[in-house]
Amino acid sequence: KRAANAALFDRYLSHKVMKALLSKANFLFQRGLFHQADAAFRECWERQPSVEAALGVALSSLNLGKLLDAQNWAERVIAWREAEPNLTGHGYAILGTISTDLGNYAEALEYHLRAWELARFTQSLYALARNPLSTQNAHVKKVVLSANVKDFHERDYIRVLFAQGHLLRRMGRLTDAYSNFNTANQWLRQKYPFNSHQEALRLQTLIHTVGQHISDISDTRAISLARHIYVIGLPRCGSTVLAQMLAWKTGYVSAGESQAVPKTIVALQQKLKQPILPKDFINADKEMLRAFRDGVTTEYKNTIDITATGVIDKQLWLAPFVGWLLTAFDDALVIWLRRHPGDQFISNYTILFGDERRFNHHADDFVQAWQLHDQLMSMWMQMFPGRVIPLLFEKLIDEPEKLLQPIYPLIDNVRTDVRIEDFYQQSAVVSSASDVQVRQKLNRDGIGRWNAESKYLSHRSGALEQLIRKYPL
């Protein structure tokens, strides 16, 4: 009997220790200390394998950008589920989150549906509404739209409204979506001081987005005479080539990679004594937007003459400030240029390795930069329909005239006496690593280089391969 009691006490003590370790790991994760959280969850797993520990490692790996590691740990959880069927709704929701980030949208639907069925987990309802496959799945649409907001309280109430609003918007029912977002907005205004609440700020962004769709804010009058054209992308995406093409075809002044916008942003940040974030343009008053516009215009006038024509500026690294550009300048058009991530990484690695930016040196850092840039530009494209034009570098090289033809009606002046393929004949100054490239005819030398180099990077390119699979070409 003493031995049995001692064994029982040991199990109890072990359980308490594990509970404390898991609490510590969860605390670190919630504070955003993902490296420490990852180590803590792994210690829990080594002491006593459990679903909670495996899920913690998987989610920490996901937040650290270690997609393959996250996938491996998620597979452990799935295997564990067969032996231990009591996986919670929260556990299924984490599996759904991992599957979504890995691009396994069908699996993500299954996991989030299970989380909703088990625990009415509203984060999963929101994830179902945002899943790219949700509009094609009648059961998912029924689950999301049939959720009764009156059954929920506080934050869950808002999440249900968010979920239904997003799905309605994606289904094309814009008026219904706007009604949902407005209901949530009114509730939040009563419940919280609007400007100090993060959820309210995010909601205001959504209302602004849907409102633009409903009122067709992408009025062609605002951009039919675009005189400010910004080519935006990550380094080595082909932005210099595109900017030179457009300058050749339109007669606009090529600003190269000017400092007009960065200098103005720095000046405003010094004036405000705080950084300007992507969300800040929503609350920016007319005076601040006017100061931004006047500052950029002044910087242009100090360097180039744009009084007679428009300007084409290759503005790398400005994805966070696209909202400012398009709100301050009614005649601005943003062209978002993307390139195959494998080729782009190889180009950065070989051409810009000496640069201080980390993502030129390591595939995982490049993937994080790519994903952040992609999220920001996708958000702006939704918020300013018709004013952010996405293009692919590979199609630009193969069929430049065909690709750019839809953009010409948005530009003030398009020359008919020149071919865009002859852009290399101009003598405009180019101060970038692309100087040689823009002095010769278009070629495909840089397309597909990833295939020849991938074997040398295979041990470090897991996350990069995930990006490559998702790329449209």
Give the type of residue at 5: N
- The residue range of the domain holding 385 is 226-470
Of 471, 462, 464, 470, give the one whose Cα is nearest residue 72. 462
State how many domains the chain has. Answer: 1
Helix then strand then coil, in percent of the chain rounded to 5, is 70, 5, 25
Confirm whether 370 is domain-assigned.
yes
Helix (H) or strand (E) holding 124: helix 122-130
Cα–Cα distance measured from residue 293 to residue 266, given in angstroms and rounded to the nearest whole number: 14
Amino acid, res. 465? E
Angle (CA) 371 373 375, round 5°: 70
DSSP letter assigned to residue 439:
G
Q: Does residue 69 belong to any structural domain of this protein?
A: no
Residue 274 in any domain: the answer is: yes
pTM of the model: 0.53
Per-residue pLDDT of the chain (473 residues; tens, 9 = 90+): 556 555 554 555 566 777 788 888 878 777 778 788 888 888 888 877 777 788 788 878 877 777 777 777 777 776 665 545 556 777 788 788 778 777 788 888 988 898 888 888 788 888 898 888 888 889 999 999 998 877 877 667 778 888 888 888 778 776 677 777 767 766 665 665 444 445 555 555 555 554 444 443 233 334 446 788 999 998 888 888 888 888 888 888 888 888 899 899 888 888 887 777 766 666 677 788 888 999 998 988 888 876 667 888 888 888 888 988 888 888 899 999 999 888 888 877 776 654 555 555 567 778 888 888 888 888 888 888 888 999 999 998 888 888 888 888 888 678 777 877 776 666 655 545 455 555 566 666 667 666 766 666 654 557 778 888 888 87
Question: Exposure pattern of 289-306 as b/e (b: 16+ CB <10 Å)?
Answer: eebbbebbbebbeeebeb
257 backbone dihedrals φ, ψ, rounded to 5°: -115, 75
Tell me whether residue 134 is in a domain.
no
| 140 domain-assigned | no
Q: What is the CATH number of the domain that holds 258?
A: 3.40.50.300
Strand, helix or coil at 153? coil
Sign of the Cα pseudo-torsion (341, 346, 351, 353, in order): positive
Q: Does residue 35 belong to any structural domain of this protein?
A: no
Could you tell me the two tokens for 236? 């080595």
User: Burial of 271 by CB count in 10 Å (0-12 exposed, 13-18 middle, 19+ buried)?
Assistant: exposed
DSSP 192-216: S-GGG-HHHHHHHHHHHHHHHHHHT
Within a domain: residue 55?
no
| 250: in domain | yes
CB 370 within 8 A of CB 467: yes
Which two structure tokens, joined as six digits, stand for 265?
């942003």
